[in-house]
Amino acid sequence: MSQLEAGMVRSGMAAPQAQGKEGSPWTGLWAVVGKEMADHLTSIRMLILELLVVLTAAGTVYAALQTLRSTVGQDRFLFLRLFTTAREPLPAFVGFLGLLVPLIAIALAFDSVNGEFNRRTLSRVLAQPIYRDALLMGKFLASFFTLALVLTVIWLLIIGMGVIGLGLPPGGEEVGRMLWFLVATIFYGGIWLAVALLFSILFRQPATAALGSIAVWLFFTIFWGILAQLLARTLRPIRYGFVEEVLAQARLELALSRISPNTLYTEATIGLLSPSVRSFGIILPEQLQGILLGTPLPLTQSLLLIWPQLTGLIAATLLLFALGYVLFQRQEIRA
């Protein structure tokens, strides 16, 4: 402690910075969340993206309804087909979600931190009784809650269109499966939120952060499957053509492909929206003994099937945010 600070303490005065930073490091967290959510929900960028997603959802679900109306016979999971049924020239709605959710997430977070740097407002915000912890967590939670709100509204829109178009309400198990599908979609978007926030911390230019986030998304969407196949062939080559060698290579390729969030989300979606799916990857003939093929699994069994994928999505979101948190705490912030 310097002589000036010691004199201030003896005289009963405290340094302004120390006085402003007393209390919990999460002081002001919900003020940041509320302010950031208001900015997101009223920005032109988000309105354009929300309009794009709503129009996409309405178009794909309307096309699916036209196909389902012509389906003969009773289908126990008719509402689930709204998400997975495609009709030319439109793909299924889940196919659009795999493309649109990362773009919405990146648009929400790519300028969260570097935008404050460029406007020279970050030091002013931190001069208030708000710690870095509350600021970064508030920005992430605001983006996460905004994404969850948008996806929930679209989810309700699809159910409403299904009730009107099909003339019947969804069953209890259908609602449960669609709810878990919504949770998986939100955390799939949470991964790309964390990626965009991380690049926003690393790069001072928002354009660079946005391009870096989109590049990572395109890499995992387009190139990672090819790279996983090449790596599996290199690390587990088939030398003599034995069945064990083929199985080892296929299992390694599947394990490598699951590093991609797209693969985890795709498998979770298939397991939840296609109740007859019992396994992912290679199935040996002896594993099919005693199984009634085509019989749908109950919801609890489907959750057990996709639980590794769902926990992988949640864990990736938390780990990426933790990495960005550590980097943000180590950054030097000047006025």
Q: Give the separation between CA 144 and CA 133, rounded to whole angstroms.
A: 16
Determine contact, residues 297/305, Cβ cutoff 8 Å.
yes
* Per-residue pLDDT at 334: 64
* Per-residue pLDDT at 189: 94
* Per-residue pLDDT at 306: 92
Q: Which residues contact 43 (CB under 8 A, 6 or more apart)?
A: none
* Per-residue pLDDT at 283: 60
Beta strands per DSSP E along 49-140: none
State pLDDT tens for residues 265-291. 999 999 998 888 888 866 655 444 445
* Per-residue pLDDT at 166: 80
* Per-residue pLDDT at 288: 47
- Preceding amide of 89 cis, omega within 30: yes
Q: Output the CA torsion sign for 203, 29, 316, 101.
A: negative
Q: Give the separation between CA 102 and CA 53, rounded to whole angstroms.
A: 12
* Per-residue pLDDT at 47: 86
> What's the gap between Cα 21 and its chain centre?
33
Give the tokens for residue 172: 């209890």
Torsion of Cα atoms, 111 then 152 then 300 then 225, to 10°: -40
* Per-residue pLDDT at 91: 76
**274: amino acid identity, one letter:** S
> What's the gap between Cα 264 and its chain centre?
11
* Per-residue pLDDT at 1: 43
* Per-residue pLDDT at 293: 55
* Per-residue pLDDT at 7: 41
What is the model's pTM?
A: 0.85
Determine contact, residues 227/233, Cβ cutoff 8 Å.
no
* Per-residue pLDDT at 75: 67
Determine contact, residues 221/262, Cβ cutoff 8 Å.
yes
Q: Give the separation between CA 194 and CA 294, rounded to whole angstroms.
A: 39
Residues of the chain with pLDDT under 50: 1-20, 72, 286-290, 292
* Per-residue pLDDT at 315: 95
For residue 163, CA distances in Å to 8, 87, 124, 160, 169 come to: 70, 20, 51, 5, 5
Residue ranges per domain, the chain? 24-279+290-330
State pLDDT tens for residues 184-230. 999 999 999 999 999 999 998 999 999 999 999 999 999 999 999 99
Indicate the average pLDDT of the chain: 82
